[in-house]
Amino acid sequence: MSGKAFRYDTAAPVLVTGATGYVAGWLIRRLLAEGFTVHAAVRDPDNAEKLAHLRRLERDLPGRLKFFRADLLKDGSYTEAMQTCRVVFHTASPFASVVNDPQRDLVDPALNGTRNVLASVERTETVERVVLTSSCAAIFGDVADIALAPDGILTEEVWNTSSNLDHQPYNYSKTLAEREAWRIVGTQTRWRLVAVNPGLVIGPALSSAPTSESFNIVRQLGDGSVKAGVPRYEIGMVDVRDVAEAHLRAGFLQRAEGRHIVYAEVLSLIAMSCILRRHFGDAWPFPRRVLPKWLVWLLGPVVNPMLDRAMVARNMGYSWRADNSKSRRALGLDYRPLAPALVAMFEQMVAAGLVPPGTGPGGPGLAPASADAAQEGEAAREGQLSGRRVVRGAPPVVETVPGALVAK
């Protein structure tokens, strides 16, 4: 969280694509807390169960929420939802590590979906800025690539050049989609593009059935899948609420431009396990040791299709380093510690039945966090008010954000 708060001009509505997604939920919460009218693009606006958590947000916060039917692969399906909007937050994109057809399941939705949304932007004169949810996956393909970056550190100038349909297809899809967005924005001068490139996003979801791949990673740490040990793998991670805040500021701060690496800390799989064990004890079979790379290389493909030998060779045992100073400077982000986010995420998964109940000391007595509890706890911790953000422990510094956005 940042020690500076911002006042936003909420006169014009904003569009959030992929509104039922993990990051999108928290972004919509922030927008509604500020008093925006949010046009939420979803596949099925009649699916009451899937939209219930967003309806609760509208009930509890001062902003307004309007749902629109849209499909990433259907030309023009975002045009109606975009009418009169000043800012478009394009968060919709699949995130999965194991798919049957990478072209169909990852590349086509990411690339063609981006083209589709930006085609609607071209037809909508009121849009002045687009915020693209990209990823650090568009900056590097394998952790081994980082050694080739200038000074061995990832920056916004670095692009992923090692991924393809057969190796790291998710990373490949994010790279193609972001490159295409920058190509399209370069053909005109009316609207501006700002990209948010988060690391691995963790923390509780607002929906009761989260689908982000990060939940699969955390689930495996507690369900016994990797109780024998984990590979030496590390990556930059960030609280989902900081990612939402990054999007909000990228959408309205005049100084926001280009790409922004967004992460708080670098954690390894064994460090994540240690955080969970420190909080929950031995109630779940969290792994206690790091497996040697040769063993993971030999047996990984047998036990997990994601761990093919190229993946192991180029990602296990390397250091992950990236520079997040631009996000701190341009967006004013002051990142949350990750341990509380990881604990809250695991508690929510237990409550949702995504992880078997703990059997050791403290397991049955755990009071897990539901999606509603996550939302209520967040409001209490942040002290959010309409049009203002109050930061505990420091007097709020309030910056007014101009209503007019100038596309440069």
State the Cα–Cα distance between residues 224 and 229, nearest whole angstrom: 10
Least confident of 165-179, 218-232, 301-315: 301-315
State the Cα–Cα distance between residues 208 and 53, nearest whole angstrom: 8
% the chain with pLDDT above 90: 78
Angle at 71 between CA 66 and CA 77, to 5 degrees: 70
What are φ and ψ of residue 123, in 5° steps? -90, -5
Is the pLDDT higher at 100 or at 125?
125
Distance of CA 381 to the CA centre of its chain: 21
Q: What is the average pLDDT across 342-354?
A: 93
Residue 294's pLDDT is 93
Tens digit of each residue's pLDDT (9 = 90 or more) over 350-406: 998 989 888 644 444 344 444 554 544 444 443 332 232 222 233 333 343 434 333
Tokens at 214, concatenated: 């990060």
* Cβ proximity of 233 and 269 under 8 Å: yes
Read off the pLDDT band of 96 (50, 70, 90): low
Least confident of 45-59, 291-305, 312-326: 291-305
% the chain with pLDDT above 70: 86
Residue 312's pLDDT is 95
Residue 155's pLDDT is 98
* Cβ proximity of 156 and 326 under 8 Å: yes
Torsion angle of the four alpha carbons 1, 245, 387, 28, in this order, in degrees rounded to the nearest 10: -140
Indicate the helix (H) or strand (E) that contains 241: helix 240-252
Residue 306's pLDDT is 75
Residue 169's pLDDT is 94
Read off the pLDDT band of 213 (50, 70, 90): confident
Neighbours of 4 (CB within 10 A): 15
Whole-Å CA distances, 156 to 135, 218, 247, 329, 347: 11, 28, 16, 13, 34
Residue 385's pLDDT is 27
Asked if pLDDT for residue 146 goes beyond 90, the answer is yes
Residue 5's pLDDT is 75
Q: Which residues belong to the active site? A: 174
Residue 300's pLDDT is 83
Residue 198's pLDDT is 98
Asked if pLDDT for residue 123 goes beyond 80, the answer is yes
Average pLDDT over all residues of the chain: 88
Beta-carbon contacts of 104 under 8 Å, excluding residues fewer than 6 positions away, are none
Say which residue the tokens 């949010």 belong to.
Answer: 38
Angle at 217 between CA 212 and CA 220, to 5 degrees: 130
Selection from 8-12, 209-213, 357-361, 397-401 with the highest mean pLDDT:
8-12
Least confident of 57-71, 109-123, 238-252, 379-393: 379-393
Is the pLDDT higher at 382 or at 97?
97
Residue 393's pLDDT is 31
Pairing of strands 234-239, 265-268: antiparallel
Write the burial class of residue 347 (CB in 10 Å: 0-12 exposed, 13-18 middle, 19+ buried): buried
Q: What is the average pLDDT across 11-15?
A: 98
Q: 52, 75, 51, 27: which is closest to 252 by C-alpha?
A: 27
List, as one string, the DSSP characters of 134-187: --GGGT-SSGGGGGGSGGG-B-TT----S--SSSSHHHHHHHHHHHHHHHHHTT
